[in-house]
């Protein structure tokens, strides 16, 4: 029993390094998607202290809108543009209708409001586009679908072109986002708002504009994530499970940290795959991915209550 836990998995890893690499690769791909969702979340949390539960649903909603528009006969790239438009309208609407009247309410009320938005988006999306599972328009968007087979250590390593594209696009997006946050006026305004609300307001940064902006950026991220995830698993509201996956990522990385979201996402993506393959399936009957990330984050939090990269919590009486 003990050797099953402490020795055999590592023996398996060393015995089949090609399989281990395959597992790591798949973990990396899902990890990068978790990191993306968590990033959209961190942006909103930093600039408005809103724990945005709707981030995961925005992913599904964006993907659904894209596929739905295409199904009505709109060409693929124009539907992408239109979907971005929809996400912008969504950002403005949320800011106007939900956030503005709730400014200054306790955190938990704003959190509940985002759950309300979540429900609304689920109902709205299903009413308009139907609730059944749909195919992502991978080919129409020019995303390659083949695979490359490598043979390291005399074994097999299958890399889906789709996954490679996802990793490249996601890396570019993260890079672009970091550049935006660090080198543009708007980006600096977002960071300033995150550091000190009142100081930012007093130098003339408009709260409303920034809020719309961060929700729109979150919408763009949601669309990219939605396309990537939809191409792997189809588009339906079952995708919302990945929304929950972003939460332990945030916990692990810290709610305010952009670095934390990226590192946390990759860590959770890889570790949960490793645990599932080498410990979960042989010992626990599988499907451990639903909870492993949460329990991992919980254990880390016991030692660092603000996450790995979060702001140190200083309490005063």
Partner 1 sequence: MLYRTAGQFKTSYEADQALFPVKQDAFLLGIIMLFALVIFPLTASEFAFQTMLIPVMIYALAALGLNILTGFAGQLSLGTGAFMGVGAYACYKMVTLMPWMNPIVAILLSGFFSAGVGVMFGIPSLRIKGFYLAIATLAAQFFLVWLFEKWAWLYNYNASGAIQVPNLDIFGVYVTGPQADSMVQYYVVLGIVALMTMLCINLTRGTLGRTWKATRDMDIAAELIGINLMKSKLTAFAISSYIVGVAGALYVFMWKGAAEPNLFDIPLSFQVLFIAIIGGLGSVLGNYLGAILIVGLPVVLNLLPGALGLSISSAMVEHLNIMIVGSLIVFFLIVEPHGLNQLWRLIREKLIIWPFPH
Whole-number Å distance between alpha carbons of 105 and 103: 6
How many residues touch partner 1 (CB under 8 A)? 51
Phi/psi at 161 (5° precision)? -60, -35
Choose between 107 and 195: whose C-beta lies nearer to partner 1: 107
Is residue 251 a contact residue for partner 1 (CB under 8 A)? yes
Choose between 88 and 111: whose C-beta lies nearer to partner 1: 111
Q: How many helices (H) and strands (E) does the chain have?
A: 13, 2
Choose between 23 and 251: whose C-beta lies nearer to partner 1: 251
Name residues whose C-beta falls within 8 Å of residue 157's C-beta, 6 or more positions apart in sequence: 18, 21, 22, 25, 149, 150, 151
Residues listed for the chain: 317
CB 62 within 8 A of CB 240: no
Whole-number Å distance between alpha carbons of 191 and 1: 51
Phi/psi at 197 (5° precision)? -55, -55
Q: Within a 10 A sphere around the Cβ of 3, how many other Cβ atoms?
A: 9
Q: Which helix (H) or strand (E) holds 22?
A: helix 17-48
Smallest gap from residue 21 Cβ to partner 1 (A): 28
Q: Between 215 and 244, how does the x/- string for binding to partner 1 read (CB under 8 A)? A: -----------------------------x
C-alpha of 267 from chain center = 13
Rule CB under 8 A: which of 47-76 touch partner 1?
51
DSSP three-state, residue 316: coil
Is residue 248 a contact residue for partner 1 (CB under 8 A)? yes
Choose between 25 and 215: whose C-beta lies nearer to partner 1: 215
In the set 115, 164, 169, 233, which binds partner 1 (CB under 8 A)?
Answer: 115
DSSP three-state, residue 149: strand
Rule CB under 8 A: which of 130-149 touch partner 1?
131
What is Dmax (Cα atoms) for the chain?
Answer: 64
In the set 5, 81, 89, 97, which binds partner 1 (CB under 8 A)?
Answer: 97
Rule CB under 8 A: which of 255-314 touch partner 1?
255, 284-285, 287-288, 290-291, 294-295, 297-298, 301-302, 305-307, 313
Choose between 20 and 239: whose C-beta lies nearer to partner 1: 239
In the set 108, 151, 198, 202, which binds partner 1 (CB under 8 A)?
Answer: 108
What residue ranges bind partner 1 (CB under 8 A)? 51, 97-98, 101-102, 105-109, 111-113, 115-124, 126-127, 131, 244, 247-248, 250-251, 255, 284-285, 287-288, 290-291, 294-295, 297-298, 301-302, 305-307, 313, 315-317
């Amino acid at each position: 029993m003990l050797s099953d836990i402490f020795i055999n998995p590592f023996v398996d890893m060393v015995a089949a390094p090609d399989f281990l690499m395959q597992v790591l690769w798949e973990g990396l791909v899902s990890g990068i998607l978790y990191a993306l969702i968590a990033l959209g979340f961190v942006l909103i949390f930093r600039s408005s202290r809103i724990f945005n539960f709707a981030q995961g649903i925005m992913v599904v909603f964006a993907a659904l809108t894209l596929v739905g528009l295409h199904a009505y006969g709109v060409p693929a790239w124009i539907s992408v543009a239109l979907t971005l438009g929809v996400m912008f309208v969504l950002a403005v609407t949320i800011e106007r209708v939900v956030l503005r009247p709730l400014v200054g309410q306790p955190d938990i009320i704003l959190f509940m409001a985002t759950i309300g938005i979540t429900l609304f988006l689920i109902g709205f999306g299903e009413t308009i586009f139907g609730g059944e599972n749909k195919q992502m328009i991978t080919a129409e968007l020019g995303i390659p679908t083949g695979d490359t087979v490598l043979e390291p250590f005399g074994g097999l390593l299958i890399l889906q072109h789709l996954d490679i594209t996802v990793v490249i696009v996601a890396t570019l997006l993260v890079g672009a986002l970091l550049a935006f946050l660090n080198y543009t006026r708007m980006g600096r305004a977002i960071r300033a708002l995150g550091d000190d609300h009142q100081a930012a307001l007093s130098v003339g940064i408009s709260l409303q504009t920034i809020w719309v902006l961060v929700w729109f950026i979150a919408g763009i991220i949601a669309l990219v994530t939605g396309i990537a995830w939809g191409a792997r698993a189809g588009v339906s509201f079952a995708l919302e499970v990945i929304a929950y996956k972003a939460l332990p990522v945030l916990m692990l990385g810290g709610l305010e940290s952009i670095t934390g979201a990226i590192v946390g996402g990759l860590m959770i993506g890889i570790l949960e795959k490793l645990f599932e393959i080498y410990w979960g399936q042989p010992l626990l009957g599988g499907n451990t991915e639903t909870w492993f990330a949460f329990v991992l984050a919980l254990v880390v939090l016991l030692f660092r209550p603000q996450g790995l990269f979060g702001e140190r919590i200083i309490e005063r009486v």
